[in-house]
């Protein structure tokens, strides 16, 4: 791939992230929560493996939200013809993000619990 094409690929990706950030409230919320989680992990000096796991979880939730947004936009193009099926697809994609977010939250609590307990003890 030429440097020019590579640069265009990064520009396209940047526009996609900017679009979702501007238009999707859930993505903005998840981005803020993710930043707070990573800052808290640094503040508590969690282990390297815990930090890597937290980063992986934050990135996974953000990637799934980006995918959800893309599927929703694509589904909106098809909506007039396939209304019921499109609603089911959108609901399933929302459930994917919800399950990932809840799982990440649960794992986050498991990681942070000893640090929080030590802080109040």
Domains in the chain, CATH or no CATH each: 3-120 (1.10.287.3610)
Structure-token pair, residue 71: 């599927």
**Whether the model pTM is above 0.85:** yes
Predicted local confidence at residue 121, as pLDDT: 87
Low-confidence ranges of the chain (pLDDT < 70): none
Determine whether 6 is exposed, middle or buried from the number of CB atoms within 10 Å of its CB (0-12, 13-18, 19+).
exposed
Structure-token pair, residue 100: 């990932």
Neighbours of 61 (CB within 10 A): 25
Residues in the chain, total: 121
Predicted local confidence at residue 40, as pLDDT: 98
Predicted local confidence at residue 76, as pLDDT: 87
Write the CB contacts of 85 (distance below 8 Å, at least 6 apart in sequence). Answer: none
d(CA 64, CA 75): 16
Structure-token pair, residue 111: 């990681």
Predicted local confidence at residue 74, as pLDDT: 92
Predicted local confidence at residue 5, as pLDDT: 94
Predicted local confidence at residue 77, as pLDDT: 87
């Amino acid at each position: 791939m030429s440097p020019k094409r590579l640069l265009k690929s990064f520009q396209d990706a940047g526009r996609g992230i900017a679009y979702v950030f501007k238009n999707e409230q859930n993505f903005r919320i998840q981005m803020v929560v993710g930043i707070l989680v990573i800052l808290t992990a640094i503040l508590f000096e969690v282990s390297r493996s815990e930090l890597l796991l937290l980063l992986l979880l934050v990135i996974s939730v953000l990637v799934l939200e980006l995918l959800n947004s893309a599927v929703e936009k694509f589904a909106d193009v098809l909506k007039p013809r396939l209304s019921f099926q499109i609603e089911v697809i959108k609901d399933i994609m929302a459930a994917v993000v919800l399950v990932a977010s809840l799982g990440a939250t649960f794992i986050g609590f498991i990681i942070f619990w000893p640090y929080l307990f030590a802080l109040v003890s």
